[in-house]
Amino acid sequence: MSRTDKTPPKSETTRQAILEAAQRQFYERGYDGASVRQIARDVPIDPAMIMRYFGSKEGLFAAAVVIDLKLPDPDTIPRDAAGTALVAHFLNQWEGERSAIGLPILLRSAASNQDATDKIHAVFAKQVAPTVAGLTKADDADARAGLIVSQLFGLALCRYILKLPPVVGMTQDEIIAKIGPVVQDHLWRA
């Protein structure tokens, strides 16, 4: 019997359900706190099915936490507003309609898991550093990108993981107004 409707095959539906349960567990508990058994209970399926689809907890983590920051082309960002544009972009990544659950998962997991740390390094090297280099054209663009990421990840840690009340209580506009000039300074100060 051929499939003529638009319903995804059962295997794809199961795979997607596993990924969604894994994202919730990794988000709430970090890599070390999440368990394959709990993820399987959340779906619900036999834990062996997770191994069938993803091979291991590490394979599941790699599939569940895919980060595309969707950074704008550096040539489209006005130089005099680049700091505020980057802060606004990251806030939209974390809080917007299509908020990226993967970033908080990585932040929560990176301190204790090498796979998460490696993913952050890859996102930095392949996405953030080239964007900053395109903006500054400076010889020390990687150092500038590192300082920018330290600001943004510090903000994310305090706002989304630790939920520090004064930082959580700020509006996006307030954060952009306060952090944007700092990021701008990292981009342009000699």
Query: Residue 5 domain-assigned?
Result: no
pTM recorded for the entire structure: 0.79
Tokens 């790699």, residue located: 62
Report the pLDDT value the prediction gives residue 1, as an integer from 0 to 100.
Answer: 47
Query: Residue 40 domain-assigned?
Result: yes
- Read off the CATH number of the domain in which 59 is found: 1.10.10.60
pLDDT tens, position by position, 155-172: 988 998 889 999 999 999
Report the pLDDT value the prediction gives residue 99, as an integer from 0 to 100.
Answer: 60
Report the pLDDT value the prediction gives residue 69, as an integer from 0 to 100.
Answer: 87
Residue 51's domain spans which residues? 10-64
Query: Residue 92 domain-assigned?
Result: yes
Provide CB contacts within 8 A for 112, sequence distance 6+: 30, 31, 32
- Read off the CATH number of the domain in which 129 is found: 1.10.357
Report the pLDDT value the prediction gives residue 8, as an integer from 0 to 100.
Answer: 66
Report the pLDDT value the prediction gives residue 5, as an integer from 0 to 100.
Answer: 58
Tokens 């300074």, residue located: 185
Give the CA dihedral 50, 54, 56, 61, nearest 10 degrees.
-100
- Which residue ranges of the chain lie beneath pLDDT 70? 1-8, 96-100, 190
